[in-house]
Structure 1
Amino acid sequence: MADPVLLILSGSLRKEATNRKLAREAARLFGPAEVVEGDLNLPLYDGDVEAASGIPAEVQMLADQIARADAVVISTPEYNKGPSGVLKNAFDWVSRTEGTPWQDKPVAVMSAAAGRAGGERSQMILRSFLVPFRPQVLPGPEVHLAGSSKEFDDAGRLTSEIYTKTLTELMTQLRAAATTAR
């Protein structure tokens, strides 16, 4: 059987964002897989644009990536006590595409933030954003990476044993869910 397809999504657009690093570290700990990194740099959702021009190509590509994936990792920052607008915008756009790409999809949610709670609030809200799409969101273990700018080495690997252990457990559960769903 071919390796599973793992889609990773970072709610931060910055190239060196700690959420991008966390999602990539999750992919490494997931094990052998075809890893696809989704691009959430999408136009703002506008119903008038959709009516005039249809679904933008980059939005359709993201919806197709979600549909093709055996599992998805979403890593969210915490901006003003919530997930990024980038994530919400992506969910809004994908909801306008044909089909139900998220339905029954195994999803692991995690967060990285500068604060001491590690994005706990944004992760809780992100989970509620996913409810209408009916994916299989894993309940845990929860990964809330606090003080995230200090938690990665130069190679982008987590330096804390406790975070690595928790993320490894979450990725083991995601891989099992992906295997079952196949």
Structure 2
Amino acid sequence: MELVIVSASQRSQSQSAKVARYLNERVEGFSKVNHIELYQYNLPFWDGSAETKSAAGSRWPIISQQINKADALVLITPEWGGMASPLMKNFLLMCDKQDTAHKPALLVAVVSGISGAYPIAELRMNALKNNKLVAIPDHLIIRNVEQVLNHDKPDDERELHLRERIDYSLHMLEQYSEALKTIRYQHQNQPFPKQQEYSYGM
């Protein structure tokens, strides 16, 4: 199985990318892991047309190919002003349901302070309707991110619990990935009558 980790900070050397690297090191149930650091791709802002994705200089086809092959995704966003990052929202708008439908996603919020719940709520509420990604019930909020996941051994008990929660969440993502393979297979090989009429969520 393949996993794609998407980190959506608009900054280089970001804490979101640091978290992505840590998760990559902890993954056990996936044979291949790709980390997409969105700021490196300079993607065009989606204007609602498919042509935007393939505009001159767009590197979206590279990302789309990786997403298509993936069995699951981890979506990591910093909290900016209580919101998910613009790069994450643009990425999710560009995702085609042919690449993402019925694939599980672990949502991760990264924040320098003690908040972090708003980006998770935002993504659960309105980011998955048309791309048909399936957010698993577990999510992660990495609070005080500058102080955690920096060393091989945790500095305190709170970080130890965080690391254990990360391992559990990645384990559950693997379980959902295995289970949803059946849904994707049946969706492709035993389609619902007039299935194409229900391509988008209500």
Fold conserved (TM > 0.5)?
Answer: yes
**Partner SS state of residue 43, structure 1:** coil
Query: Match for residue 60 of structure 1?
Result: 61
TM-score, structure 1 normalization: 0.82
Q: Tell me whether 1:70 sits opposite 2:71 in the alignment.
A: yes
Instruction: Measure how far apart 1:81 and its partner are.
Output: 0.9
Q: Give the counterpart of 2:36 among 35, 38, 46.
A: 38
Structure 2 residues not aligned, in runs of 5+:
182-202
Q: Which portions of structure 1, spanning 4 or more consecutive aligned residues, are displaced by more than 6 angstroms? A: none
Percent identity reads: 22
- Over the aligned positions, Cα root-mean-square deviation in angstroms equals 2.6
| Residues 72 and 173, structure 2, Cα contact 8 Å, conserved in 1 | yes
Query: Match for residue 145 of structure 1?
Result: 142
Distance 2:129 2:47 in 1: 22
Deviations 1:28-76 (A, max 9, x none): 222153111124231223468937x648641122122111001111111
Deviations 1:68-121 (A, max 9, x none): 0011111111111100011111122334xxx5211001111111111212x210
Query: Match for residue 123 of structure 1?
Result: 120
- Greater relative contact order (CA < 8 Å, ≥ 6 in sequence): 1
| Residues 5 and 68, structure 1, Cα contact 8 Å, conserved in 2 | yes
| Residues 95 and 131, structure 2, Cα contact 8 Å, conserved in 1 | no
Structure with the greater alpha carbon radius of gyration: 2
TM-score, structure 2 normalization: 0.75
Structure 1 residues not aligned, in runs of 5+:
none
Distance 1:34 1:91, change over 3 A: same
- State the AA in 2 paired with 1:73: V
Distance 1:48 1:170, change over 3 A: closer
Instruction: Measure how far apart 1:16 and its partner are.
Output: 2.4
